[in-house]
Amino acid sequence: MASPGVEAEREALLGDHTSRSREWDIIETQEHYKSRWRSIRILYLTMFLSSLRMYVSLQIDQTADARFLGWIIASFSLGQMVASPIFGLWSNYRPRREPLIISIFISVAANCLYAYVHVPASHNKYYMLIARGLVGFGAGNVAVVRSYVAGATSLQERTSSMANTSTCQALGFILGPVFQTCFALIGDKGVTWDVIKLQINMYTAPVLLGAFLGVLNIVLILAAFREHRVDDSGRPCNSINFEAANTDEVQISQGSIDQIAVVSTNVLFFVVLFIFALFETILTPLTMDMYAWTQEQAVLYNGIILAGLGVEAVVVFLGVKLLSKMIGERAVLLGGLLVIWAGFFILLPWGNQFPKIQWKDLHNNSIPNATFGEIIIGLWKSPRDQNELPTGCPIEQAWCLYTPVIHMAQFFTSVVFIGMGYPACNVMSYTLYSKILGPKPQGVYMGWLTASGSGARILGPVFISHVYSYLGPRWAFGLVCGIVLLAIALLGVVYKRLVAFSVRYGGIQE
């Protein structure tokens, strides 16, 4: 006998459509309800573990430089971009357990490879590149996770479930650096297990933990994960026979997917991920140039800022559940884009105060930092300790001489705005996308959406690094504001098309 709370929720989900006589049109039992949500929660955990990032260190190969580090970082997104459509297509025609287990196994193997990357006598950096790329390839399973969550929830459950999925992803981003910090207590040397040539130190311990958790995740999926499908009203579909389930869905799908809405949502999601990726990239050089922070200070302070953004994102993910019920997902997406635009508009430099300049004399030796108002007399001041590393806005960046400083109040206000708008746009994009696709298998479509986000994380840093270095923050953030305005205009054009599949074809009311 189902509990009153569960029965009430089922009645709300089923509405007045229980009179239909199709074979799959049945009331969801309590056992089915519990099994369905148990499987969804297992995939919440999978999303969390896929979001934990392994530690990247170039100390094991002296030939690796900062440029190669950029390739290593990009390899994760490249791997995920390639894998997402593949795993998505796989999940459309086979039980989702298969791509999930294989993808997690690839991540486990990649983490083990990273733990042994010090063993070869040469070319260690290339093994690290392969390991990082394979971790990204394994993380392509987020497309499978999101497609399953979309297919196993009703329209009323969808927004909350997508928000929970994004929350788990954000927690992975937050706790990954925390785990790495804890393992720093082990030190560089750590301990060595000579029999299997395994070093357990501050660099390998996080990835070994990731491999162990991946194995547990595989065991959990094998033991407790079950395939479940419900339609947009919450009625269970036949999910025991996978191919039969697909046949049922084809029979109940009266209409085609709105491809314009699909493409538009992909473009909007690309812009959202593009904007946040470039924001993460520009934090360190921006704060070092504007506030004369040392590299150590920039890494520490910006790490704290990003952790704070992660916490803010979790709060926003929880808040949009309620807000979307009041004003709808499209309005929340529009509001999120407006908040992001305001955040970057606030960053535009203004005023008469200029950043400290990192000067160099004719012999390329650093001399004291000076503000723009002290340029003349600064050249005549006695040098400070020559052993100190120079700080400030480098003279090689010509815009440093005429671009006003971004005030600290501007910077932190912008951080709060962007940290509020990004998670709202992220979860609303996924939610609207899943609703637009309707009851048909969503694996491939979710794969393309994930791939577009991965592509944005690759292109965003490239775009901002070049524009900022050559033209400065005015052009960089001005162009970003223009990109966001174009995204808002696109959303306005397709606003009425971004509706659920079942709503478009008259099945139910949203």
Separation CA 327–CA 342 (nearest Å):
21
Structure tokens at 127: 């093994």
pLDDT band at 311 (very low <50, low <70, confident <90, very high): confident
Q: Where does the pLDDT of residue 14 fall: very low under 50, low under 70, confident under 90, or very high at 90 and above?
A: very low
| Domains 29-252 and 257-356+391-510 equal at CATH topology level | yes
Which of 312, 314, 155 is closest to 235 using CA atoms? Answer: 155
- Residues near 357 by Cβ (< 8 Å), separated by ≥ 6? 369, 370, 371, 372, 375, 378, 392, 393, 395, 400, 401
Task: Say yes or no to pLDDT of 235 above 80.
Answer: no
CA distance 56 to 69: 8
DSSP string, 232-250: TTSPBP--SSHHHHHHHHH
Distance in angstroms (rounded) separating the CA atoms of residues 509 and 493: 22
Do the beta carbons of residue 399 and residue 355 sit within 8 Å?
Answer: no
Percentage with pLDDT > 70 across the chain = 79
- Hey, where are the domains in the chain? 29-252, 257-356+391-510
Q: Looking at residue 352, what DSSP letter applies?
A: S
The mean pLDDT of 68-73, rounded to a whole number, is: 70
In this prediction, what percent of the chain has a pLDDT beyond 90?
26
Query: Strands 191-193 and 198-200, how do they pair?
Result: antiparallel
| Fold entry, domain 257-356+391-510 | Growth Hormone; Chain: A; (1.20.1250)
Determine which of 197-206, 270-279, 486-495 has the lowest per-residue pLDDT on average. 197-206
**Interval 95-149: pLDDT, tens:** 999 999 999 999 999 989 888 887 776 777 788 888 889 988 998 898 899 889 9
Strand-strand pairing, 357-358 and 198-200 = unpaired
Please tell me the distance from the alpha carbon of residue 106 to that of residue 211, in angstroms, as a whole number: 10
Give yes or no for residue 1 having a pLDDT over 80.
no
Domain 29-252 has CATH 1.20.1250.20: yes
**433 pLDDT exceeds 70?**
yes
CA 37, CA 226: separation in Å to the nearest integer?
10
**Distance between CA atoms of residues 260 and 267, nearest Å:** 11
Contact 415, 286 (CB under 8 A): no
In 3D, which of 96, 50, 51, 57 has the Cα closest to residue 73? 57
Amino acid (1-letter code) at residue 83 = A
Give the number of C-alpha atoms closer than 13 A to the C-alpha of residue 434, restricted to the C-beta side.
31
Mean model confidence pLDDT for the chain: 79
Instruction: Report the distance separating Cα 492 and Cα 510, nearest Å.
Output: 20
Q: State residue 360's pLDDT score.
A: 58
pLDDT digits 0-9 by tens, 363-417: 444 433 433 333 323 333 334 443 456 788 888 888 888 889 999 999 999 999 9
| Residue 268, pLDDT above cutoff 90 | yes
